[in-house]
Amino acid sequence: MAGQRLRTGASWQSGILLPAYSVLHASTHSQRIFPHPMPNVLKRILRPTVVALLSVWTVCSGYADAQVMASKGILDLSQIDFSGTHIVPVQGEWEFYWDRLLTPGDFAPGKAPPVPTGLLTLPGSWKGYRLHDQTLGGLGQATFRLRLMTGKSQDLALRLDDIPLAYRLWANGKLVAQSGVPGISPETEQPRRSVAIANLEASGQPVELLLQISNHSFRKGGVPGAMLLASPTTLQASQIRTWGAALFFAGSLLLMGCHHIILYFWRRKEISTLYFGIYCLLLVGYTCCSNTTDWVITLFTDNISPISLERFSMSCYLVSGCCLYRFFKNLYPSEFSNFMLIISDMRSLILPIIVIFFPMYIVYKAIILGFVATIIFPIYYLSKLFICFNKRYNGAVFLLIGAILLFATSVNDILSHSGVIQSPYMITVGLLVFVLCQAIALGQNVSKAFLNAERLSGELGRQKTALQEEIVERSRLEREVVNISEEERRRISHELHDGLCQKLASARLWCSALLQKPPPEAAGDTLTHLLRDAADDAYRISRGLWPVEHDPSVPGPSLDELVSSVARTSGIAIAFRQSLQCAKCINPNATPLYRIAQEALANAVKHAKASRIEVCLCCEGDAGLVMTVCDDGVGRRAAKRSNGGLGLAIMAHRAQIIGAALRIDDASGGGTHVQCTAACPLADTAAFPTTQAKNHGNAN
């Protein structure tokens, strides 16, 4: 094949730098334009977005080292030295031969040269050209002719961008580049969209370029992008950079897509990662098989039909729209509507069917609807993401910045593809930045998840340690309770044996004496006293085991009787004061409080060497039921502890069971102060407050 056909990058235009700098200047000096300062929210989004766009356009632009324009079919390059890295766009007026596919033989010496239809500026399209009071459409065929005045001998190469749909290029009568086979009808045309580099022999004489173009399917016929003229080395270096960037973009999208799909299989509840992973993979298919990367897939295989590549790339692009919407919908379900979801799904279903099964001239017309949706949906995305950003949703700021860049590059490509502006295809850059922004948002969420996991793990560890300590303590207390239970049984056995049983045995003997004739004097009175004492002992023992007042049918434990019994047996003066909200206390926590008071009194009697004890039971309504035991003894530190020292532990255990607050302190003037506060669930129903104060023991 004549010439060297390469899949190369699109041409870059430096002219779009001016609007970018203008926007940045306007955002920096907003007070000169707007009557009020720009909100901080807009500044936080606009500045990094503009800087990113400016950086991308700066990298991708700047090829136009020299600007020359062809005039009347002649381009003067005699003042340009191509020995360096100069790249010159071939633009200006070409001789235009409408509806004719001419060859170099038609311009051979000795023959009458064909009469041109007129002059047509390239890059441009013949659509809209006025010919004999008629306007040409986008379909048809034509020939273009241009003479290059090089002025000296130098190595040159011409890069031809994506020219729909078939073309041939001759230089001084030699075929140097071809893509497809131009024809005068859809049947004779063999379309193929590609990019080629043609080597030109410039010996100092004029170089005559003859370009055949036919287009019987695409919307516009002509040359949409500028052809670039430079040394072969310069263009080859440009191709390598373009290929590297294209493969970098595709590889990055492929990795991100696989990464998100793997994340979905690890956590299936996060279906948004699945949609985004599929979205990235579809974009890989689009970028590798479309003209945005100059069909980089053909670097690895030439066996794929160009039409198949075109259909596949457009289908991937259209289907990716519904995946992107569903991604946003799953991230922020309350902001993105179900109606727009249906519209997105319908677009991604109907248009790909047209692209796959219908003729290409219908496809190119239908794809305009896709372009319209490409404008509408990003605007909708931006508005919703801005709302999410204002509501401070996680990752919304990064997604908003990425969406702005993606929208800007999409509009750029649409306008460039339509011939409205001369600009490089930048959709791959916008897609990569958008994916990276989403990755940053995902990283932010993952980081927060790890921090929360670490915090919860620490809390769980502390709770586990506390629970283990509590289990150990409860096990120890259970063992001690068993020991105390055995000790209590032994004590009760001794009390029954030494007290009640002895009295009953004496009563039996006196009963036998009553049977004698005559009975001894005072036998009846003695027997009566013995039986009364035996009954008192039995009553005292039973009250110590379970006071009758603890029965649910009888309200409130009798602390008064407990205090009276302890005072009587110990000989210590004990004052008892009671202030209740109810006439009869029916607090379900009264029994544990009774046992705590019993243990506190026992400690005060046995260890504190107290001469006076005060017991108080007060109901403070919402504050709960408060029981206090105070003594004037030697205090906790100086008191002799019993074997095992379980009194305080058992009191704390009983308080913990009912959720009560137990405090045991040394009084400032000596002695010990025990206070236990338990909640009173019946405080709201309290009525008829009662107050009682008694002194027992020696104080009486």
- State pLDDT tens for residues 306-338: 788 888 998 998 999 899 899 889 888 999 999
Task: Band the pLDDT of 685: cuts 50, 70, 90.
Answer: low
Element housing 158 (H / E): strand 153-160
- In three-state secondary structure terms, 88 is strand
Say which DSSP state 66 is in.
S
Predicted confidence (pLDDT) per residue in 467-517, tens digit: 999 898 888 878 877 777 777 777 777 777 767 777 777 777 778 777 776
Query: Are the CB atoms for 104 and 145 separated by under 8 Å?
Result: no
- Lowest-pLDDT range of 179-183, 270-274, 411-415: 411-415
**pLDDT at residue 175 in the model:** 95
Element housing 588 (H / E): none
Query: Are the CB atoms for 411 and 56 separated by under 8 Å?
Result: no
- Residues 6 or more apart from 209 whose CB is under 8 A from it? 144, 145, 146, 147, 148, 158, 169, 170, 171
Q: Which of 419, 393, 412, 543 is nearest to 127 (CA)?
A: 419
**pLDDT at residue 245 in the model:** 87
Structure tokens at 526: 């003695």
Distance in angstroms (rounded) separating the CA atoms of residues 669 and 33? 79
Tell me phi and psi for residue 474, to 5 degrees: -65, -40
Task: Band the pLDDT of 58: cuts 50, 70, 90.
Answer: very low
- Residues 6 or more apart from 49 whose CB is under 8 A from it? 401, 404, 405, 408
HSE-CB at 95 with a 13 A cutoff on CA atoms is 19
List beta partners, residue 229: 88, 158
**pLDDT at residue 647 in the model:** 72
Determine how many CB atoms are found less than 10 A away from the CB of residue 162. 21
- In three-state secondary structure terms, 107 is helix
Please name the amino acid found at residue 606.
K
Return the residue matching tokens 């249906």: 342
Task: Band the pLDDT of 354: cuts 50, 70, 90.
Answer: very high
- Strand 573-580 and strand 612-619: pairing? parallel
Does position 3 have pLDDT exceeding 50, yes or no?
A: no
Predicted confidence (pLDDT) per residue in 197-230, tens digit: 999 988 888 999 999 999 988 878 899 888 999 9
Task: Kindly state the percentage of the chain with pLDDT values over 70.
Answer: 81
Distance in angstroms (rounded) separating the CA atoms of residues 139 and 157? 29
Say which DSSP state 281 is in.
H
Query: Are the CB atoms for 592 and 660 separated by under 8 Å?
Result: yes
Q: State which of 53-57, 352-356, 684-688 shows the largest mean pLDDT.
A: 352-356
Distance in angstroms (rounded) separating the CA atoms of residues 529 and 535? 10
Mean pLDDT score across all residues of the chain? 79
Distance in angstroms (rounded) separating the CA atoms of residues 50 and 28? 11
Distance in angstroms (rounded) separating the CA atoms of residues 524 and 513? 10
Distance in angstroms (rounded) separating the CA atoms of residues 277 and 324? 10
Cβ-count burial 100-128 (b if 16+ within 10 Å, e if not): ebbeeeebeeeeeeeebbeebebbbbbbe
Query: Are the CB atoms for 197 and 159 separated by under 8 Å?
Result: yes
List beta partners, residue 198: 158
Q: What is the pTM of this model?
A: 0.60
Task: Band the pLDDT of 281: cuts 50, 70, 90.
Answer: very high
Determine how many CB atoms are found less than 10 A away from the CB of residue 233. 14
Distance in angstroms (rounded) separating the CA atoms of residues 640 and 627? 24
Predicted confidence (pLDDT) per residue in 109-131, tens digit: 888 889 999 999 998 899 999 98
Query: Are the CB atoms for 190 and 180 separated by under 8 Å?
Result: yes
List beta partners, residue 171: 174, 209
Conformation bin of residue 132: beta by default, left when phi > 0, alpha when psi is -120 to 50: left
Task: Kindly state the percentage of the chain with pLDDT values over 90.
Answer: 23
Please name the amino acid found at residue 603.
N
Predicted confidence (pLDDT) per residue in 385-427, tens digit: 999 989 888 888 888 888 888 888 877 877 776 667 767 778 7
Tell me phi and psi for residue 116, to 5 degrees: -70, 150
Structure tokens at 493: 């056995």
**pLDDT at residue 548 in the model:** 46
Element housing 658 (H / E): none
- Residues 6 or more apart from 272 whose CB is under 8 A from it? 326, 327, 330, 331
Query: Are the CB atoms for 159 and 227 separated by under 8 Å?
Result: yes
Cβ-count burial 624-636 (b if 16+ within 10 Å, e if not): bbbbbbbbbbbbb
Predicted confidence (pLDDT) per residue in 160-171, tens digit: 988 888 999 999
Distance in angstroms (rounded) separating the CA atoms of residues 442 and 259? 11
Cis before residue 182, ω within 30 degrees of 0?
Answer: no
Cis before residue 123, ω within 30 degrees of 0?
Answer: yes
Query: Are the CB atoms for 347 and 373 separated by under 8 Å?
Result: yes
Task: From residue 345, give the alpha-carbon distance in Å to each of 271, 284, 340, 369, 372.
Answer: 17, 20, 9, 14, 15
**pLDDT at residue 63 in the model:** 45
Distance in angstroms (rounded) separating the CA atoms of residues 278 and 346? 18
Determine how many CB atoms are found less than 10 A away from the CB of residue 508. 12
Q: At what angle do helices 427-495 and 647-657 cross, to 10 degrees?
A: 130
- Residues 6 or more apart from 310 whose CB is under 8 A from it? 193, 289, 290, 360
CA angle centred on 260, ends 255 and 261, rounded to 5°? 100
